[in-house]
Amino acid sequence: MPETKPDLRSYLKRVAWPAVPSQHGAMLQSMQHQLDETQWWSAARLLEHQLLQLNELLQHAYDSVPYYRRRFDAIGFRPGQRLTIEAWRELPLLTRREVQSAGSDLASSANLSQYGGFVETQTSGSTGEPVRLRGTGLDQLLWEAITLREHHWHGRDLSGKLASIRVFVEGGEPPDGTLLDDWGPPTSELYATGPAAMLSLTADIETQARWLLRQEPDYLLTYPTNLMALIAHFSRRGDRLRNLRAVRTVGETVTPALRVACRDVWGVPLVDVYSSQELGCIAAQCPVSGQYHVMAESVLVEIIGSDGMPCRPGEIGRLVVTKLHNFATPLIRYELRDHAEAGAPCPCGRGLPTMSRILGRSRNLLTLPTGEQSWPVVGFREYRDIAPVRQYQLVQLTLQDIEVRFAVDRPLTGAEESRLATVIQRALGYPFRLKFVYFPDEIPRGPGGKFEEFVSRLDASS
């Protein structure tokens, strides 16, 4: 590297993938240093460099990806001229279904060996629509550098013990899981870390709780709904995790109630990371404000309203994301079908764009018989005061009917059902017809191990 470090974009243009695997750590460290600088750039400077990178991505897509050549020809778009944000917003959105239908036509025919070759990935399929695509080794490197930056933001003691309860854990079968010497890549590539204990999410909550008490971790990584069940279990039992310093969540929407419960019961903060398999880390929580900072060096995030225009701070819209450096399978204006609230500039001083909160997918919206839609409030705070409800899920079947799914400690009485129905109808703002369905252990998760507290089946394509 020269004495004056180039900006991230020019570095990514020039870098050649090392023939010696041991050089990976040096590249990771160099990229990490650059991210430490670019996070303090102004929002305008970040956008300027994003547009420069998008110019190259669009040209590459037109030259080497059949799908985009047809797509751009159809709308009369020719890459090459200096891109403006207004011209960018004229490009059509890319849906998950279109990605599935395009198949190999979405893959680049260019030789990408200088970017570390191809890395195959597949989404979890939590929507019922899994997507297979390719990234590059350089994509993965950038994701790893962002992971390290997130550790630094929150000042984690890497010598501590990490416990992870997730879906796919090799060797992590319950009840014992597996114990590793370190946290694994990328963290262990640059730092000496403490051990990591891993357990598969197939373990029930009782087994998970006993395992955590044996492990006594400093940090816990899991999914939000699994965390809520664990916190409720520990609250009922009065058990404590004596060494726990913080909880990290991934993969699902975090509710304000979960953050409060984590503080109240365990006395530790909850830090969330918003990511996807196809796009990597999209946003991470600021250590100062708690807002989600967009990883602008890696992705361009748009929050757009129903009119297709960008949302102002405080407004809620659809999330559209473009991976800036994936030349293997370009995802250009890819609609995730998640919703988010646009954030204001962060008081921490970083120029990285912000989102105030991630709200979930359009299928998580409640629809009233009038056609009005809203993010549902379901009155869960009162459930345990009325009956021994361990877990809940509401499924809207029609404009008038909602199925209420409960995992319970014992059968509920008619009086308890009646009181719960009153609470739910009041919280939803309409006297829906409620059907109660019970599960003795836990409510089944969707594909990919994800769980949603409210699901609408009014529109199967949403």
* All residues at 6 or more sequence positions from 95 whose CB lies less than 8 Å from its CB, including other chains: 335
Helix/strand number for the chain, H first, E second: 13, 20
How far out from the chain centre does Cα 55 lie?
Answer: 27
Q: Is the pTM of this model over 0.85?
A: no
For residue 53 the two structure tokens come to 């990178």
Describe the strand order of the beta sheet including 196-200 as a list of residue ranges. 178-180, 196-200, 162-166, 219-222, 246-249, 270-276, 280-285, 292-294, 354-361, 334-342, 316-323, 299-304
Distance CA 7, CA 35 (A): 9
Rounded to whole angstroms, the Cα distance separating 246 from 114 reads 39
Q: Supply 155's token pair.
A: 């000042």
Place of tokens 């490197």: 141
343-370 burial by CB neighbour count: b if 16+ within 10 A, else e?
Answer: bebbebebbbbbbbbbbbbebbbbbeee
**366-456 in CATH: which number?**
3.30.300
Q: Digits of tens for pLDDT over the chain (462 positions)?
A: 333 333 444 444 444 455 555 688 888 988 999 999 999 999 999 999 999 999 999 999 999 999 999 999 999 999 988 899 999 999 999 998 899 889 889 999 999 888 887 887 766 544 444 567 888 888 889 999 999 999 999 999 999 999 999 977 788 999 999 999 999 999 999 999 999 999 998 788 889 999 999 999 999 999 887 898 899 889 999 999 999 999 999 988 898 889 999 999 999 999 999 998 889 999 999 999 999 999 999 999 999 998 899 999 999 999 999 999 999 999 999 998 888 999 999 999 999 999 999 987 666 778 889 887 766 767 676 888 899 888 889 999 999 999 999 988 899 999 999 999 999 999 888 999 999 999 887 888 776 556 788 888 986 443
Residue ranges per domain, the chain? 366-456
d(CA 324, CA 56): 9
